[in-house]
Structures are given as C-alpha cells and as structure tokens.
C-alpha cells in the first residue's frame, strides 16, 4: 500500500517515537527540528533531514506538527523558513501540539488565507510509549472531508481517533483531558503520600485497587513511579504546567468554575519554581514528600 509522504516538524519526546514507527511502516518522511541530535536520530531511521520547515514540506502529502509550545508552532508555520511559505493545496496540516483553542483556530484561518490549505487540530493523549506503539488517543477538529482523508494515517497513529467537530474542537477536548490529567496527577501523589505515611505498601495500591472505581491508567502508571521516585521524563512537568495554564485561562473565558484545576495548577507552578521543570509530571509527588504544600 502506498503511504502518504510526510513532512514531520518537531521530533522530540513525542515526535521521535512516532517518526520511528512511521518509518518502520514504510512512510516516506522528511523531518525538521531545531535540535541537531534529534535530526540525527531521524536520519538514522531513514528520514530525509530538511534544512527548514519549509524545506521539509516539498513533496509532502501531509505536514505534521508535534511541538511543545504555541510559540514553537507559530515559528514553525509562519516564521522565517516556516512551513506556510511552501505549502500548497491539496496538502493538509495535522497539528498534534497542544495550543489554546482560539490560538489554534487563528492559526488555521491564517494558513487557509495564506495558502488555501486545511488545518486539522489533533492533540493527543497517551505519552511517548503510546506514540511509539501507535496507540495514542487523538481528538480532532476540522472539516469532515479533511478528517475523512486522514483516517488511514490516523489508523497507524492512534488506537482511538475521534472527530469532535470543526477546527478547534479537538483542542477543546484536549483542554478537558488536561484538566482531568492534571487533577488526577495531584490526587495520585496525595494517595501515595497518605499510604506511605500510614505504613502500608504504597506500591501495591495499583494491584489492590485494580477493577474498582479508583482504577485507571494513571493509577497504574503514576503510583509505581512515585513510589520508586522514578521521575525520568515521559512528559515534562513544565509541559503539564503550560497546559494547565491554558486550561485555566479557557475556563475563565468560558466562565466555568474550576477550583480543582486551580489547586493542581498552583502545585505545578510550585514544582516548576522549585527547579523541577525537566522532571516527569509525576514529580509533583516530591512536594508531598517534602511536606512543602
């Protein structure tokens, strides 16, 4: 089966595992990233290393972004050497990044006006292991016709792909996802801390609670890491803080109360201010361990 040619921009913690998988499936890929070491990894997997985002776009059917910040998205698309300078219909852009809802809609409008190309916001959940295994959860916003053409590609990327509505709808779903994720991270840290203080084996909580109402993927993944003090990043604390700041602003814009979110955000702000921005998101446990809350 012929695979679409991909220009992949952003091959970091999430992007590199996906690029490696897609290359293994036979996708022709051109890559661009500002980190030379990441480019060398991709070159070793058989990807063409481009000199800029615009250079990566040449010959691509799909342009894919997987970037850590809204600023990085804007620069990769509309800055000097940005992809928008080279994109032409029928190329489509798929953005796996997490940006603010109205920001994403504005980028989509800007790309359409400048190039006539479609933008699909497709933020993800699942972390690097799911990115490398093709088992991500993807929530998408875009025109139905554009979504339909992306389905074969998404089948190689995601275990669950949901079209939530027009451009921006995927980002709304991601805001809700991050609201839940951020709050549950804090609850898991609180639970592990309480178990340890009570003198029970906190490492057995996932086994003990499996199948009950408290069970879930975050219980199974986070508590063992917290108990083991394993904070090697599968997702950076600074990234979750960034996302929670976006969710907080969006809740204020909508006028919806979010007291749980405010508490989780306050803890992640403190974690980053303590110099732990490059640790895993599960490192919020360290605040409980230090009794610094």
- Let me know if 174 is a catalytic residue: yes
Q: Read off the tokens for 145.
A: 């016709």
Asked if residue 292 has pLDDT above 80, the reply is no
In a 3-state reduction of DSSP, which class is residue 27?
Answer: coil
What value does the mean pLDDT of the chain take?
97
Q: What is the pLDDT of residues 220-255, one digit of tens each?
A: 999 999 999 999 999 999 999 999 999 999 999 999
List the one residue out of 247, 241, 248, 234 whose CA is nearest residue 275. Answer: 241
Residue with tokens 């293994």: 24
Can you give the length of the chain in residues? 293
Among the listed residues 105, 174, 185, 238, the single catalytic one is: 174
**Bridge partner list, 9:** 32, 65
- Helices 70-78 and 101-115 pack at an angle, to 10 degrees, of 0
Instruction: Provide the pLDDT for residue 2.
Output: 82
Q: Read off the tokens for 125.
A: 């959940």
Using left for φ > 0, alpha for ψ between -120 and 50, and beta otherwise, residue 165 falls in left
Residue with tokens 């609850």: 187
List the one residue out of 101, 124, 19 whose CA is nearest residue 62. Answer: 19
Counting residues of the chain whose pLDDT is more than 90, the rounded percentage is: 98
Instruction: Provide the pLDDT for residue 293.
Output: 79
Instruction: Provide the pLDDT for residue 136.
Output: 98
- Distances 213 to 209, 210, 219, 264 between C-alpha atoms, Å: 8, 8, 11, 21
Asked if residue 28 has pLDDT above 80, the reply is yes
Average pLDDT of span 82-108: 97
What confidence category does residue 273 fall into, taking pLDDT thresholds of 50, 70 and 90?
A: very high
Q: What is the pLDDT of residues 132-190, one digit of tens each?
A: 999 999 999 999 999 999 999 999 999 999 999 999 999 999 999 999 999 999 999 99
**List of domains in the chain:** 6-166 (3.40.50.720), 172-289 (1.10.1040.10)
- The b-or-e profile of 105-131 (16+ CB within 10 A means b, else e) is bebbeebeeebebbbbbbbbbbbbebb
Using left for φ > 0, alpha for ψ between -120 and 50, and beta otherwise, residue 26 falls in left
In a 3-state reduction of DSSP, which class is residue 211?
Answer: coil
63 contacts 57 by C-beta, under 8 angstroms: yes
Instruction: Provide the pLDDT for residue 1.
Output: 60
């Amino acid at each position: 089966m012929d695979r679409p040619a991909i220009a992949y921009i952003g091959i970091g913690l999430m992007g590199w595992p996906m690029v490696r998988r897609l290359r293994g499936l036979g996708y022709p890929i051109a890559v661009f990233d500002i980190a030379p070491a990441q480019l060398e990894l991709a070159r070793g997997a058989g990807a063409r290393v481009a000199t800029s985002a615009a250079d990566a776009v040449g010959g691509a059917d799909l342009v894919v972004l997987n970037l850590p910040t809204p600023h990085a998205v804007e620069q990769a698309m509309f800055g000097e050497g940005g992809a928008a300078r080279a994109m032409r219909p029928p190329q489509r852009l798929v953005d796996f990044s997490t940006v603010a809802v109205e920001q994403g809609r504005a980028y989509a409008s800007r790309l359409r006006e400048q190039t006539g190309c479609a933008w699909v916001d497709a933020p993800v959940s699942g972390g690097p292991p799911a990115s490398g295994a093709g088992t991500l959860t993807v929530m998408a916003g875009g025109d139905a016709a554009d979504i339909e053409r992306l389905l074969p590609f998404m089948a190689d990327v995601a275990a669950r792909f949901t079209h939530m509505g027009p451009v921006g709808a995927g980002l709304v779903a991601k805001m809700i996802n991050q609201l839940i994720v951020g709050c549950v991270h804090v609850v898991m840290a609180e639970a592990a801390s309480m178990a340890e203080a009570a003198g029970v084996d906190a490492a057995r909580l996932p086994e003990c609670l499996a199948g009950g109402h408290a069970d879930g993927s975050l219980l199974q993944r986070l508590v063992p890491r917290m108990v083991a003090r394993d904070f090697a990043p599968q997702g950076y604390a600074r990234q979750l803080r960034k996302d929670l700041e976006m969710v907080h602003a969006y809740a204020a814009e909508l006028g919806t109360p979010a007291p749980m979110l405010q508490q989780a955000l306050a803890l992640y702000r403190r974690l980053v201010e303590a110099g732990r921005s490059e640790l895993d998101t599960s490192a919020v446990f360290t605040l409980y361990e230090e009794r610094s809350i």
